């Protein structure tokens, strides 16, 4: 009887570990992309323009739905350079956070949709927040994820942001 109880306990424990392992593997599916977005966030937070540039494909494209415009990401980075420099110099603070509604992942490609929240403030000012619906197309080159296309589709609401779970 003791042996049967012991075996039942071991089987239950094994099932718990199996279940938890499956959960971890499922959440780990996007681990590399989560690391990619963390690098983007850190580059914005620290004002490191070169680190941000390193997350972009050399031929990357920025599409601005609200303006009905398209341009190379390298051109957008020239415009954004002052904010990066001001952040790096401590004249302003900036943050970007991402939440995803759909994440389609291939071996070396990914398409993600969601909302990003860009927050910034200059010294002595209140935080300004911009919620933006976006799509991102990424490619993996030499083991490194790079954004090939960022489509900033439209303004999102805080309510829509809160409806997305985070990842």
Farthest CA pair distance, the chain: 75
Residue 114's Cβ-side half-sphere holds a number of Cα atoms within 13 Å equal to 24
Q: What is the pTM of this model?
A: 0.80
pLDDT of residue 3: 59
Residue-range definition of the domain harbouring residue 148? 29-163
pLDDT tens for 131-162 read 999 999 999 999 999 999 999 999 999 999 99
Does some domain include residue 47? yes
Class of residue 106 by CB neighbours under 10 A (exposed 0-12, middle 13-18, buried 19+): exposed
Does some domain include residue 74? yes
Does some domain include residue 11? no
CB 135 within 8 A of CB 156: no
Indicate which CATH number applies to the domain containing 57. 3.10.450.50
Q: How many domains does the chain have?
A: 1
């Amino acid at each position: 009887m003791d042996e049967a109880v012991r075996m039942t306990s071991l089987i239950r424990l094994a099932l718990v570990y199996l279940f938890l392992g499956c959960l971890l593997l499922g959440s780990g599916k996007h681990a590399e992309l989560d690391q990619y977005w963390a690098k983007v966030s850190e580059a914005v937070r620290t004002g490191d323009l070169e680190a941000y540039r390193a997350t972009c494909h050399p031929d990357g494209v920025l599409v601005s739905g609200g303006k009905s415009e398209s341009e190379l990401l390298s051109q957008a980075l020239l415009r954004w350079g002052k904010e990066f420099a001001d952040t790096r110099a401590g004249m302003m603070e900036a943050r970007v956070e991402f939440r995803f509604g759909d994440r389609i992942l291939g071996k070396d490609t990914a398409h993600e949709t969601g909302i990003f929240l860009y927050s910034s403030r200059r010294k002595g000012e209140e935080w300004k927040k911009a919620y933006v619906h976006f799509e991102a197309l990424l490619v993996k080159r030499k083991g490194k994820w790079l954004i090939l296309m960022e489509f900033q589709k439209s303004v999102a609401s805080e309510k829509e942001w809160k409806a997305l779970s985070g990842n």
